[in-house]
Structure 1
Amino acid sequence: MTTSLPTLDQTQLSRAISLLDEEWLQHDPDLGPVMPLVLGRGVGQDWHKAGTFRHHLIGVARTLTLWQQPKHVRQLGLLHSVYGNAHVDLMKFDPKSERGRLQEAVGEDAERLIHLFCVMSRIEFLGELFKGNLKNDGSLIITLQGAPFELSARDVAAFIVVSMADICEQWYSWQDDIYMGYPDYKAQPAQQHWAAALWPGPMRPTTYRWGQISRLGHFLQHPALKNQLPQPPVFDHGRQVMAPGDEAAAAALYWSVMQQSQPLMSSAATAAVLEQAIKLNPWVAEPYMVLSQLHMTERNFDLGRQYAEAGVQTAACWGNSWDKRIGWDGWMSWGRVLLQSAQKRQWPETLNKLNNVALTPEH
């Protein structure tokens, strides 16, 4: 493979490692004081896609923190659905009577963004962006309570960044099936499509939503939006857009390896499939890590190190996993084990010893 691989940015890695500790949020000066109020509403008991509502809110906030977003955007991420919305029947705060309480907790500016993000149509917001209706000044016209409403460039930028984090935290193949074509989708009868309805399904990576994240990131390159917020460090900081066909093909190739559809006696064939998946979609971490392990199993530690480094760097830029069978913290931990093992040029030679691998302290 001749494509250059991502290399490790120690600053980005350190930022990611600091968020692996489950206690990071309570020590965060902007978000920590708000958490008791949110947890008091039972968010840890509510189902949400690939976990609980608590997992989702924290996961979105974690990505926004990793992307170095300002306080009001991170607070929006942590509380982005607490007034409920068209997709989630989880109203944790009554928008008719409790807006004042949330304003006391996060301030009027952040609360205004939270309320607007909940009551507006996110389908329409994404649809208008994808139709190319962003104005020269960065504003966007949507419909709110039956009337045209103009979102300012500042609000558009905040909603784009939070939408990127929101998608990457929760989306996988179960939602691909029930929302196929989102935001332009048609609701299908559950009884007729009962197999697609069974949660959580096979948990394949999404076949089209990461491409939409790349398009959202690219909107932040718009002259009126470019300096509104820090550019998320994904898709070459918003300069690259992934083609839908490439994303779908890469996901299929990766999943064929995970389902052991390749010749099990030929690691070379599997490596070639993973290389092609990476060529089509170099923006996600997990294929790099799987290929790293494959190379180290074959005692090719130099390539194993390169792919482990690429995987850890890419994961450190996201804050949430693409292959949601395992959470981001698990993939980050595994990637660091791979990288350290490759640097030491050591990898188990028997299957049972794989259970013993661990990250060892650096001296």
Structure 2
Amino acid sequence: MEKARLFLREEYAAIDPALPHWLSVLRSTGASECFHKHGTFFQHLVEVYRILKLWGAPDDVCRCGLFHSSYSNSYVNLAIFEPGVDRSRVKDLIGDPAEQLVELFCIVPRQELIHDMLLFRFSDDQLQEAAASDRSGKKSKLLLPDGFITVKNIRNGEDVRLPRRIVAVFVLLTMADFCDQLYNWQDNLFDNRDGELRFSGNHYWALWPGDVQPGLWMSSISRMGLLLKGLLNEEEQDNGICDAPAAIALKLPPLFDGCSKLLRPVDQIAARDLYLEAVGADLKRQGFDWIAGKLRGACERNPWIGEPHLVLAQLCCLEGAFEEAAVEAALGLERLLQWGTAWDKRVAWEAWIAWGRVLEMNAKEKKWPSTAWGMINLGLVK
């Protein structure tokens, strides 16, 4: 919570002394005026940086996250810096190793690299096998047996050789990038009804922003987590040899039990539907048991989302079940802090955290408003 509190209070200099200057530079480029999915490009860059920081990523990877698409890339045209002109400026800002990552990130065909060449190439069973711990050194290297992969530079068509560690960095960056920006507008665009996020549809007419319901992206992130863990396992079998700039040290995000579990698409769909039924219900008409059952079902089908726990905490406070409310509020907060972003993006991550803390505080004090004005009065967290 202490690291998250620095972001919540915008005490950026305490996170990195150079961060306030970086943010000022990004604003001066117009990043806060550029569209990006459910906000501005500036907001997206800051939130990806926050996610990576809360996941414990190395400084150079976090800095890359803050500038990650600033030369434009294979997904989106957001060149707030000209790659042929401004690279030295960006190097002066964030350092050579981080800028090299930014430049690489912007020239690789990321959809082809992460999805076609890796994520969609292997089955769930193969990814789970690659991610399984095995320190014997005898396990076959399924993902990148040669320790590298070659892709084409999207700007000039030349070969780009990516060592395994850099591929792992790009998987981690893509996890943070996707979980910040995806919600059901993208599901509508790509016809992601099955929750596998294969980007196979072409519903370009999907009206923005849609209803901004939670998207079906978390199953794909769980597969990326297995892929990341598998890549790091393979490198460990190579006795830690790291053919990469600055020998970037990586750790697994605190998701899916250390990136060891798979969330099935059918479970993420069921969890979302149960959650939406619950939050759209009328307590006086459907009753506590019916709504609580939906929320508990959502938590069972997808144990890694926080928002259903917080809604259940409020429900328990209304019923005077304060001990259960405190437990649910703590669980919801824990998960939201682990992600560093909201699953239900109809409300900002910061607001979910503040709401969760209000719930937890009041549950521990065994009190809850019984009037509408009392609800409006909620806000202060001690």
TM-score (ref. length: structure 1): 0.88
The one-letter amino acid of 1:236's match is: D
Aligned pairs, how many?
343
Name the structure, 1 or 2, with higher relative contact order (CA <8 Å, separation 6+).
1
Query: Quick check: 1:65 aligned with 2:73?
Result: no
Matched letter for residue 188 of structure 1: N
Q: What secondary structure does 1:151 align onto?
A: strand
Alpha-carbon distance between aligned partners in 1 of 2:324 and 2:8, rounded to the nearest angstrom: 26
CA RMSD in angstroms comes to 2.1
Change (3 A) 1:95 1:354: same
2:188 counterpart letter in structure 1: D
Q: Distance in 1 between matches of 2:150 and 2:277?
A: 43
Structure 1 residue identity aligned to 2:304: W
Query: Of residues 153, 164, 177 in structure 1, which corresponds to 2:164?
Result: 153
1:257 deviation in Å? 1.8
Gaps of 5+ in 1: 1-12
- Conservation of the 8 A alpha-carbon contact between 1:210 and 1:247: yes
1:299 aligns with 2:299: no
Query: Which residue of 131, 134, 148 corresponds with 2:143?
Result: 134
The 1:261/1:134 distance shift into structure 2, 3 A limit, reads: farther
Partner residue in 2 for 1:175: 186
Stretch of structure 1 that moved more, 38-47 or 57-66: 38-47
Find the counterpart in structure 2 of residue 118 from structure 1. 106
Question: Is contact 2:91-2:99 (8 Å) kept?
Answer: yes
Task: Verify: 1:338 aligned to 2:348, yes or no.
Answer: no
Q: 1:356 corresponds to which letter in structure 2?
A: N
Letter in structure 2 aligned against 1:143: K
Per-residue Cα deviation, 1:6-65 (whole angstroms, up to 9, x for no partner): xxxxxxx22222221124268523534422222210111111111111110000000111
| 1:1-363 to 2 correspondences below 5 Å | 13-24=1-12, 28-29=16-17, 31-127=19-115, 128-130=117-119, 131-132=121-122, 134-136=143-145, 138-144=147-153, 145-146=156-157, 148-181=159-192, 184-186=198-200, 188=202, 190=204, 194=205, 197-207=206-216, 209-222=217-230, 223-224=233-234, 228-260=249-281, 264-361=285-382
Deviation string 1:236-263 (CA, Å, 9 cap, x unpaired) is 1111111111011111111122232888
Q: Where does residue 7 of structure 1 map in the other structure?
A: none
Structure 2 stretches of 5 or more lacking a match?
123-141, 241-248
Q: Percent identity?
A: 35
Residue deviations 1:295-336 (CA, integer Å, cap 9, x gap): 111100111011001001111111110100111100000000
| Residues 138 and 156 in structure 1, CA contact (< 8 A), matched pair in contact too | no
Question: Which shifted more, 15-24 or 159-168?
Answer: 15-24
* Residues 93-150 of structure 1: per-residue CA shift (max 9 Å, x gap): 1112222221222222211110111121111122222113721365333333445533
Bigger shift: 177-186 or 45-54? 177-186
The question of whether the paired residues in 1 share the 8 Å contact of 2:191 and 2:203 is answered with no
Offset at residue 183 of structure 1 (A): 6.1
Contact 1:263–1:270 (CA under 8 A) maintained in structure 2: no
Contact 1:26–1:33 (Cα < 8 Å) also in 2 = no
